[in-house]
Amino acid sequence: MIADMSSLDLAVIGNCTISALVDRRAQIVWSCFPRFDGDPVFSALLDSPEGRSDADQRGIFAIDMVGMVSCEQSYLQNTAVLVSRLTDSFGNILEITDFAPRFKHYDRTFRPPMLIRRVYPVKGRPRIRVRLRPHYDWGSCPPSLTRGSNHLRFVGPAYSLRLTTDASVSYVQDERPFVVDRPLSFFFGEDEPLRSETDSTARSFLDSTVDFWRDWVRSLSIPFDWQEPVIRAAITLKLCNYEETGAIVAALTTSVPEAPHTQRNWDYRYCWLRDAYFVIQALNRLGTTKTMEEYLTYITNIVDDMEAIPDQKDMPPLFSITRSPDLEEREATALAGYRGMGPVRVGNAAYTQIQNDAYGSVVLASVHAFLDKRLIRTGNRALFAHLEKLGHRAIEVFDQPDAGPWELRTKAAVHTFPSVMCWAACDRLVKIAEAMGRDDRAAFWREHAERMHKVIDERAYNAATGTFVSSFDGEHLDATLLLLAELDFVKADDPRFIATVEAVGAKLRRGDLLLRYDVEDDFGLMHTAFMICGFWYVDALNAIGRKDEAKELFEHILSLRNSFGLFSEDADFTTGELWGNFPQTYSMVGLINSAVRLSRSWEEAF
């Protein structure tokens, strides 16, 4: 049975070390080892099966039910554990439970790079065929295979992986169908022996993992309305958190095109500083202070890194999950791409770009370290001194050209959003200084913030159109203008902002979604909508008093989630088909923030 990569109707499992994507046939089609930004040993998602036989398919972990006619899937409530219920043409029923183990063990979090698949015969005598075909080095290197009495080793050029199972190793190795007449477990991960009984260990790990996720969900502060979508978005956001360092990746995949046949294929398995403000905002609203604190630690470590490089003035816009700024971009030519739409890119050349919103992103995220009394690792004078240096750089560059929030590769301008974020850096430094009792520094940053505000107010507003515009002295619009009130640059009732929201809606809205912009960029015009822009528009409509309209639009956007409640980065504004890397942190954050703003309070509901 060849994997069908015709849609992003995929589920995600993970444990904050690794993740995997599971398709509608219960096949694992994407997973990187030993961490999010590692080698995708399961890469079928980006390896078009067109023209290939079943025997040629690679990068997949399939447990195929012989004669399957249906597959019903759902998460166990409030967990990242997926259950697939398969039925064959004779009425036999089989369940596959997929998860990555995660729980407390000896007062530490146990989250190994491991996937567990538990197979259970529900009815009759179902037969399965296991196809376990990892490939190394981005699909270019098949493994050497060795076996033991209860395991298979997949030996690669740099590392090895192991399957441990209580199923017949010979049947698995030969991909021969066999009857499932008892529960079976498959442990796939690092090349280490399982030093306990297979079945009982799988059951214990499953129970403990379910308990972890349900306890975690119980700790969330969620809105009264749209609880289930928010919970699923929160779990997904957590699954994009590389907990060892605190980083949160933009998505778990690379090179799923933003639109078909456009070559807008990028590697999103990294941490963008621009996302920091929005992610922190969502985490704070959910009350997930530990994840927020760990993410702040990651961000403030970047600040310290910059301090250690005295001759580097510009802040890179993105970093690896271990804070490496060197993300040189290359193409993985052995993989054909999603639906054959290459190239598949590894790394992201945007790390070399000048994106001046980075300074504001870091300062806005770091404000919580000084003002949120729930946090244990709070801000101090040393961190404030580092942030002030970012503030000085924001003063220098706020009116200078950059690649902008949309990372244009060949065009530069003085973009409004980065300029406003530079102003926001100085404005929030005022608040930090006041909280620290540093009146002299508060006065210094207030003076600069007011001067910058005046310049931006004059040059980013077009009197002829009566709206703010996307670049200084320009005439075009982009969706980031919807954030001006949220960033406190203007009041929501400012007639200029209201006119801007209305103009953005008229110019960029397509059906229920919004384009980022409607002018040509390095790759031509946009052919899909950017999901979070729809949520920004919802929030802006709500801010200017059009709450009923905002709620209706929010519901329509929610209906575009896939069958597991997940969003990618983009969607076709006519059909709603999902495109772009998956699952997209930005999109899930937008869902959370809009739901919190629009929901009735718990007091109102009762």
- State pLDDT tens for residues 155-197: 999 999 999 999 999 999 999 999 999 999 999 999 999 999 9
Helices (DSSP H) in 246-380: which residue ranges? 274-286, 289-307, 358-371
Tell me what pLDDT residue 278 has: 87
Please report which confidence band the pLDDT of residue 309 belongs to, taking 50, 70 and 90 as the band edges. Answer: confident
Query: What average pLDDT score do residues 478-494 get?
Result: 97
Residues of the chain above pLDDT 90, percent: 85
Residues 241 and 200 in one domain: no
Residues 178 and 268 in one domain: no
pLDDT tens digit sequence for 143-164: 999 999 999 999 999 999 999 9
387 Ramachandran zone, left/alpha/beta (phi>0; psi -120 to 50): alpha
Would you give the distance in Å from CA 334 to the centre of its chain? Answer: 25
Residues 562 and 591 in one domain: yes
Tell me what pLDDT residue 52 has: 64
Query: What average pLDDT score do residues 557-563 get?
Result: 97
Could you tell me whether strands 184-190 and 114-123 are parallel, antiparallel, or unpaired per DSSP bridges?
A: antiparallel
Residues 207 and 328 in one domain: no
Tell me what pLDDT residue 1 has: 53
Nearest to 424 by CA among 405, 445, 408: 445
Tell me what pLDDT residue 5 has: 54
Kindly state the tokens that stand for 214. Answer: 């349900």
Query: What average pLDDT score do residues 414-429 get?
Result: 97
Please report which confidence band the pLDDT of residue 106 belongs to, taking 50, 70 and 90 as the band edges. Answer: confident
Is 166 buried (19+), middle (13-18) or exposed (0-12) by CB count in 10 A? middle
Tell me what pLDDT residue 364 has: 94
Check residues 105 and 549 and name the one with the higher pLDDT. Answer: 549
Residues 316 and 186 in one domain: no
Q: How far apart are CA 479 and CA 495, in angstroms?
A: 18
Asked if the model's pLDDT at residue 3 lies above 60, the reply is no
Tell me what pLDDT residue 508 has: 97
Please report which confidence band the pLDDT of residue 441 belongs to, taking 50, 70 and 90 as the band edges. Answer: very high
Q: Indicate the residue among 190, 217, 244 that finishes a domain.
A: 217
Asked if the model's pLDDT at residue 25 lies above 60, the reply is yes
Q: Indicate the residue among 156, 186, 217 that finishes a domain.
A: 217
Please report which confidence band the pLDDT of residue 422 belongs to, taking 50, 70 and 90 as the band edges. Answer: very high
Residues 533 and 564 in one domain: yes
141 assigned to some structural domain: yes
544 CB-near residues (< 8 Å, 6+ apart): 492, 493, 497, 498, 501
Please report which confidence band the pLDDT of residue 375 belongs to, taking 50, 70 and 90 as the band edges. Answer: confident
The residue type of 278 is F
201 assigned to some structural domain: yes
6 assigned to some structural domain: no
Number of domains in the chain: 2
Query: What average pLDDT score do residues 313-323 get?
Result: 92
Q: Where are the beta strands (DSSP E) in 439-590?
A: 461-462, 467-468, 509-510, 513-514, 529-530, 570-571, 578-579
Cβ atoms within 10 Å, residue 411: 13
DSSP secondary structure string, 66-89?
Answer: TTEEEEEEEEPTTSS-EEEEEEET
Check residues 12 and 604 and name the one with the higher pLDDT. Answer: 12
Q: Where are the beta strands (DSSP E) in 441-526?
A: 461-462, 467-468, 509-510, 513-514
Please report which confidence band the pLDDT of residue 4 belongs to, taking 50, 70 and 90 as the band edges. Answer: low
Tell me what pLDDT residue 520 has: 78
Do residues 420 and 456 lie in contact, with contact meaning Cβ atoms separated by under 8 Å?
yes
Residues 302 and 192 in one domain: no
Q: Domain residues for 207?
A: 11-217
Q: How far apart are CA 220 and CA 310, in angstroms?
A: 41
Tell me what pLDDT residue 217 has: 97
Kindly state the tokens that stand for 208. Answer: 């403990």
The residue type of 83 is V
Query: What average pLDDT score do residues 390-403 get?
Result: 95
Query: What average pLDDT score do residues 295-324 get?
Result: 87
4 assigned to some structural domain: no
Could you tell me whether strands 27-33 and 60-65 are parallel, antiparallel, or unpaired per DSSP bridges?
A: antiparallel
202 CB-near residues (< 8 Å, 6+ apart): 116, 118, 183, 185, 187
pLDDT tens digit sequence for 258-296: 999 999 999 999 999 988 888 888 998 999 999 999 999
Residues 43 and 62 in one domain: yes
Q: How far apart are CA 447 and CA 38, in angstroms?
A: 46
Is 366 buried (19+), middle (13-18) or exposed (0-12) by CB count in 10 A? buried
C-alpha distances in angstroms, 160 versus 21, 100, 166, 359, 381?
A: 21, 19, 20, 41, 46
pLDDT tens digit sequence for 499-552: 999 999 999 999 999 999 988 777 778 889 999 999 999 999 999 999 999 999
Residues 239 and 203 in one domain: no
Question: Residue 322 sits in a domain of what CATH number?
Answer: 1.50.10.10
124 Ramachandran zone, left/alpha/beta (phi>0; psi -120 to 50): left
1 assigned to some structural domain: no
pLDDT tens digit sequence for 39-94: 999 999 999 766 566 777 999 999 999 999 999 999 999 999 999 999 999 999 99
Asked if the model's pLDDT at residue 11 lies above 80, the reply is yes
Residues 428 and 576 in one domain: yes
Residues 223 and 212 in one domain: no
Q: Indicate the residue among 158, 184, 217 that finishes a domain.
A: 217
Residues 40 and 25 in one domain: yes
Q: What is the mean pLDDT of the chain?
A: 94
5 assigned to some structural domain: no
Placement of tokens 């980083």 in the chain = 247
